[in-house]
Amino acid sequence: MTAPAILAESLTKRYGDTLAVDSLSFSLPRGATWGLLGGNGAGKTTTIAMLLGLLLPSAGRAAVLGHDMARDRFAALARMNFSSPYVALPGRLSVAENLRVYAHLYDVPRAEARIARLAGELQLTDLLDRPAGMLSAGQKTRVALAKALINRPEVLLLDEPTASLDPDTADWVRGWLERYRAESGCAILLASHNMAEVERLCTEVLMLKEGRAVDRGSPRALLERYGRDDLEQVFLDIARNRGRAGAAMAGGSA
């Protein structure tokens, strides 16, 4: 049987009295795009850090492509990648130099051709010789995506992939991610505050609150369950402790 792209079993992270992630379990199939939604401090980044093996869980386990991330993470890391606005690339290196370093780390064959192709697709060709530290936030986000795709990952963890992009560029990146997933069969776990993005890209959404998965389902199922027209309203219902009945009583207004 093929292992799922990501398996989380009672994944837990405790910081002192804070349960940052509280017994989270899910199985993300290969080729699917799922969303992690939740307010500030809900546990999205901590979950992603455990899935990358950067943080050890306090309890439970995470496996990527069948590899336990606490014991055997290097086998999985070669086949996965991530992008986060919170991780800065070395600013003095040019965009091309940055991408070469990562291509080398991942042992990417025909690295120059891969970099040229990604630069073309992500509209970075004119920026390749610029120091990464001197790019605008939106340009940095596109470079971070190129870095995340350099090794043709089978599993992609994206933390706020369109943060700081203007609406036009964000829309373009979303379309590009959709095509990339369809062509490559890559599984994507997307943490986002952008409900429209999650609604467009994700087939399943995990709603996190204070570290716990308080609800989950396809965007359509969640809309029906809460009697809402868009995920933003569902998000507000959950954030403000208005359950499914509460949402119905609120008469459709958030």
Note whether 42 binds ligand ATP by CB under 6 A. yes
What DSSP string runs through 10-40? Answer: EEEEEETTEEEEEEEEEEEPTT-EEEEEE-T
Collect all residues with Cβ–Cβ distance below 8 Å to 250 and sequence separation of at least 6. Answer: 237, 242
Note whether 18 binds ligand ATP by CB under 6 A. yes
Contact predicate 3/154, CB 8 Å: no
Pairing of strands 204-209, 33-38: parallel
User: If binding means CB under 6 A, how many residues of this protein chain bind ligand ATP?
Assistant: 11
Note whether 207 binds ligand ATP by CB under 6 A. no
Residue 195 C-beta: closest distance to ligand ATP, Å:
13
Collect all residues with Cβ–Cβ distance below 8 Å to 52 and sequence separation of at least 6. Answer: 69, 73, 77, 80, 82, 157
Distance (Å, rounded) from C-alpha 154 to C-alpha 167?
28
Buried b (16+ CB within 10 A) or exposed e, 157-185: bbbbbbbebeeebbebbbebbeebbeeee
Give 18 or 136: the residue with its C-beta nearer to ligand ATP: 18
Give 15 or 29: the residue with its C-beta nearer to ligand ATP: 15
Distance (Å, rounded) from C-alpha 101 to C-alpha 93?
10
Note whether 44 binds ligand ATP by CB under 6 A. yes
Residue 64 C-beta: closest distance to ligand ATP, Å:
18
Using alpha carbons only, what angle is made at residue 93 by residues 87 and 96, rounded to the nearest 5 degrees? 95
Note whether 38 binds ligand ATP by CB under 6 A. yes
Residue 42 C-beta: closest distance to ligand ATP, Å:
4
Residue 13 C-beta: closest distance to ligand ATP, Å:
7
Selected binder of ligand ATP within 40, 74, 183, 251 (CB under 6 A): 40
Give 100 or 193: the residue with its C-beta nearer to ligand ATP: 193
Residue 208 C-beta: closest distance to ligand ATP, Å:
7
Selected binder of ligand ATP within 43, 60, 153, 161 (CB under 6 A): 43
> Segment 45-84, which members bind ligand ATP (CB under 6 A)?
45-46
Contacts with ligand ATP, residue ranges (CB under 6 A): 15, 18, 20, 38, 40-46
